[in-house]
Structure 1
Amino acid sequence: MDNPLLWTLICLQIVMGAFDTLVHHEGSERLAWRPSQKTELRLHGVRNFFYALIFLCFGWLETHGIFAVILAAILAAEVLITLWDFVEEDLTRKLPWTERINHTLLALNYGAILALFVPVLWTWSFLPAALVPVHYGWWSVLATVSALGVGLFSARDLLAAERSDRLSKGDPAALVAGLAPRRHILVTGGTGFIGQRLVEALVGARHFVTVLTRDQRKSDMLSHPVRVITSLDRIDDAERIDAIVNLAGDPVASGLWTAKKRARIIESRVATTQALHALIKRLERKPACLINGSAIGWYGLRGDEELSEAAAPGPAFVHDVCARWEQAAEKIAGEGVRVVCLRIGLVFGVEGGMLARLLTPFEFGGGCQLGNGRQWMSWIERDDLVRVIARAIADDSLQGAVNASAPEPVRNADFTRALAEALHRPAVLKAPSWVLSALLGDMGRETMLSGQRVVPAKLLKAGFEFHHPEIAPMLCMITGARPRLGTPASESNCPAPGAELKQV
């Protein structure tokens, strides 16, 4: 084993494997939170457990006799599990091109490792049975660190597979049950985090859905049957559209707010809304309503002040974005269309949005409070937001600005504790305000260190009932949490094992 070439190939395998796990499995694909990937997670868990054994053997032991045969069997099992994993991935999800290339390189590199190591293992197999301690300096240290890493992810993937069945969201069609049957609804931003669930609910309830997207390839994300268009010119003047839901826009809380980024954030919203206005003008039959996206950022940075729809705005870039968007939407009311501007809070769901970015660090004990933790977070669970959109389409009494957030906003410190409890992890770290401000500038100050204490006055007056009004039970439900061992059910926000989760 004292072969620099072999250890170099092992090092490459470790680096490519870490890239695949962190960038693909944890990053873009987020496999641990996708119930459809239960089998793949189990395969990853078993494979990583075997990798941990292999790395420890490579770094510290010569396996002689029967132990060499056992190690050979484990190496062969790795090949079989990997082949099974490739088949499972192709059957259950669409792999990005980077993951396919990385898998090819991993397979080729593993073959080269076997070509160099199998002759050594063959020689060892004829020696008397023994586990002979060895040490290869920094190579052994690298093997140990790698074994600990893959062992950690092995346990995590197996636990995530066990959790998968508790992540079921129920029948999506029930979310839009209040809509009249067989309506034609145009959705912009339908491939986004909110839009995908809305489209799934509408299609499940047998509505006819048209989705406007800038990227036709993203149609693979959508529930079908659905019509996907890349231009509103594809809609004929005589076509009947009953309602429009406008959610399109570049993400606000991603990347630094350079002058170019600020312009793109505003333009992406205003231009789409203006294009919808032009569409509505030429339609022979106008839609009944436009449900337009906006955000609680409209109120600016207001500290502890409680904000209903009647509250005045405050200065902030997030206000400027929402104000321009709402102004473009309000002009459509002149066409005889009822316009509702949903001022949406932080949307929580494990499939995307802010919460999805926090789950991995919190699961590995890296959850932290932002700044002093006293800033307000006005939030809404994603399925509740879909229900709000459906209610806004169906309820003619709703118009103008409507706060789409749960009735009980929380401070960041309380949210941090609630998420840590749901995941059974500590969250003792704090991200100092000055660090976030220095790294992220205005984006960090406005979206992370400041907030709005918003109440959904119009929705509550209209009799809308939130299925998830409180943060802690909601986080337990959507993360599939179980009570911590030894904690009485009466003292836990999470359902007991086997308890029926509230389905929506």
Structure 2
Amino acid sequence: MTGWLWTAVMVQMAMGAFDTLYHHEGTERLAWRASQRTELILHGVRNLLYAVLFITLGWFEPRGNWAAALIGLFLVELVITLWDFVEEDRSRLLPATERVTHTLLTLNYGVILAMLVPQLLGWAGEASALPRADHGWLSWACLAAAAGVILFGMRDLAAAARARRLIETDPASLASALLDRHSILVTGGTGFIGRRLVAALAAGGHEVMVLTRDPAKAALPPAVRPVASLDVIDARCRIDAIVNLAGEPISDSPWTLRKRRRILRSRLAVTRAVMRLTARLDHKPEVIVSGSAIGIYGLRDASPLTEADGGTPCFSQRLCAAWEAAAQRGLPSGIRLVTLRTGLVLAAEGGMLARMLTPFEFGLGGRFGHGRQGMSWIHRDDMVRLIIHAIATPSLAGPVNATAPAPVSNAAFTAALARALRRPAIVPVPAAPLRLALGDFAEELLLSGQYVLPHAALESGFVFAYPTIDAAFDRIVGNSPPVEHDGRKTAVAGEAAAALPIAA
């Protein structure tokens, strides 16, 4: 093999590794998307074929039937790649970087075939043999690449088998607490929580409008009406409830001064726009469910907190206090306001958990810092149900902690995730590097926390489908079946009649 051919092979390995780690694992998280089962099977089979190709090219010079078999493997890989392109276009919207990477991979693969196939055809005319070859460090690079694609190939095939168990609860059942048809405006309806909420409301037969900056790319359910600005909504439009979730993501790091300003301004701007819309509507909404977060309690010790507790100063506390104040100041009289103080929302599709699943699945997870900091969490389906419960419950007003009744320490949280994945959690993340790299972001979101109890939700009669961290993780990773709901009751009986004890 020539130097140019080896260069092309090394480039193909590097681009393939980037595509797998950055796109498939990092941004798209294909292994946790039930819809991508066929794509995962194609990736798994193709990776195992690549392992054979890398080992053969790195350590042997195939002759006769061995060379013909290798040509056959290249042809099979080509068919699988073309099939994969069709499946990707059919089942998901590829980001621009992935499309560019696939184009470069295809072009480079064509160069490899153009240089390698003539040589293999020549070897195919010789007597069958599989002599050893030694290409120095290139041979070892091929062996390392083969080990990598075997690892990810087996993982993709296992994820494809798991995909059958990653069946979500019927979204319509999440909205069953709303018995009458409602007209509901949702801001932030294309986000991690908003997507599931909008799907539940639409499936439940409600009329839904969603504020989105780009209606053409919002990918909303067919019956949902997108609006690019609240100013275009006519004053005569009937809106029974508003759910205000919009805002710059807070979980992206680092928190530069510019990032903090965007986080604050985005929440205040949308909340004020919601209040202006409410003031000019002829038919006022009965309720506004406005976002907040448990960051309003600041950095706390292990003492349990309820809606009656105050906060200690930090960026998260100031942000949430300003967000809640903006909703309260602009609220027209006679409208019920519920401020949802959201904890760590759990689902495989997004949020902090989505970033943790891959390292934990490979046995590389562990606690953050000392692990004693509180993690007040809620399953995303319970979050959606609680929002709808807030709309449907006239007696519920004011701050409501959107957290499960059993907050846990970070050590207990990471141990539960590892247990659900049947992996060890023995690789802790030291606090010092996190503080050095991420500053206040690490201090407030990773190394400190709160133990927050949902007193108001429980008092109003809300029943959690996933009251414990083990129940939540077992559902998320497919160890347990979906929970269906009927009205305000859940199919899981009697588990959350009162607050559960804090797990250390």
**Fold agreement, TM-score > 0.5:** yes
CA positional deviation for 1:366? 1.6
Q: What residue is the counterpart of 1:304 in the other structure? A: 302
Q: What residue is the counterpart of 2:420 in the other structure? A: 422
Q: What residue is the counterpart of 2:286 in the other structure? A: 288
Partner amino acid, structure 2, of 1:84: W
CA positional deviation for 1:335? 3.1
Give the conservation status (yes or no) of the 8 Å contact 1:250–1:265: yes
Q: What residue is the counterpart of 1:457 in the other structure? A: 455
Q: What residue is the counterpart of 1:202 in the other structure? A: 201
Q: What residue is the counterpart of 2:63 in the other structure? A: 64
Give the conservation status (yes or no) of the 8 Å contact 1:44–1:157: yes
Unaligned runs of 5+ in 2: 486-504
Aligned residues: 485
- Distance of 1:225 and 1:29 partners within structure 2: 26
Give the conservation status (yes or no) of the 8 Å contact 2:172–2:203: yes
Per-residue CA shift, 1:362-405, capped at 9, x if unaligned?
A: 11222121000000000000000000000000101110001110
Q: What residue is the counterpart of 1:11 in the other structure? A: 10
Secondary structure in structure 2 of the residue aligned to 1:63: coil
Give the conservation status (yes or no) of the 8 Å contact 1:169–1:503: no
Give the conservation status (yes or no) of the 8 Å contact 2:275–2:331: no
Partner amino acid, structure 2, of 1:51: Y
Q: What residue is the counterpart of 2:229 in the other structure? A: 231
Give the conservation status (yes or no) of the 8 Å contact 1:173–1:201: yes
Give the conservation status (yes or no) of the 8 Å contact 2:416–2:470: yes
Partner amino acid, structure 2, of 1:502: V
Per-residue CA shift, 1:444-465, capped at 9, x if unaligned?
A: 0011111011000111111211
Partner amino acid, structure 2, of 1:249: G
Task: Find 1:502's aligned residue among 459, 483, 488.
Answer: 483
Q: What residue is the counterpart of 1:480 in the other structure? A: 478
Q: What residue is the counterpart of 2:175 in the other structure? A: 176
- Distance of 2:222 and 2:449 partners within structure 1: 37
Q: After the TM superposition, which residues 424-443 of structure 1 pair with which residues of structure 2 at under 5 Å, given as runs? A: 424-443=422-441
Unaligned runs of 5+ in 1: 482-494
Give the conservation status (yes or no) of the 8 Å contact 2:338–2:390: yes
- Distance of 1:354 and 1:503 partners within structure 2: 25
Secondary structure in structure 2 of the residue aligned to 1:370: coil
- Distance of 1:150 and 1:393 partners within structure 2: 49
Q: What residue is the counterpart of 1:484 in the other structure? A: none
Q: What residue is the counterpart of 1:489 in the other structure? A: none
Per-residue CA shift, 1:46-95, capped at 9, x if unaligned?
A: 00100011000010011111111111110100100011111111111111
Task: Find 2:373's aligned residue among 372, 375, 389.
Answer: 375
- Distance of 2:217 and 2:403 partners within structure 1: 28
- Distance of 2:305 and 2:216 partners within structure 1: 40
Q: What residue is the counterpart of 1:398 in the other structure? A: 396
Give the conservation status (yes or no) of the 8 Å contact 1:167–1:480: yes
Secondary structure in structure 1 of the residue aligned to 2:164: helix
CA positional deviation for 1:343? 0.5
- Distance of 2:239 and 2:179 partners within structure 1: 13
Q: What residue is the counterpart of 1:488 in the other structure? A: none
Partner amino acid, structure 2, of 1:215: D
- Distance of 1:437 and 1:370 partners within structure 2: 11
Secondary structure in structure 1 of the residue aligned to 2:473: helix
For the aligned residue pairs, the C-alpha RMSD in angstroms reads 1.2
Partner amino acid, structure 1, of 2:126: L
Partner amino acid, structure 2, of 1:45: G
Alignment partner of 1:327 is 2:308: no
Secondary structure in structure 1 of the residue aligned to 2:223: coil
Partner amino acid, structure 2, of 1:467: A
- Distance of 1:143 and 1:320 partners within structure 2: 53
Shift of the 503–179 alpha-carbon distance from structure 1 to 2, 3 Å rule, reads closer
- Distance of 1:70 and 1:15 partners within structure 2: 25
Task: Find 2:275's aligned residue among 274, 277, 294.
Answer: 277
Identity of aligned residues (%): 53
- Distance of 1:140 and 1:470 partners within structure 2: 50
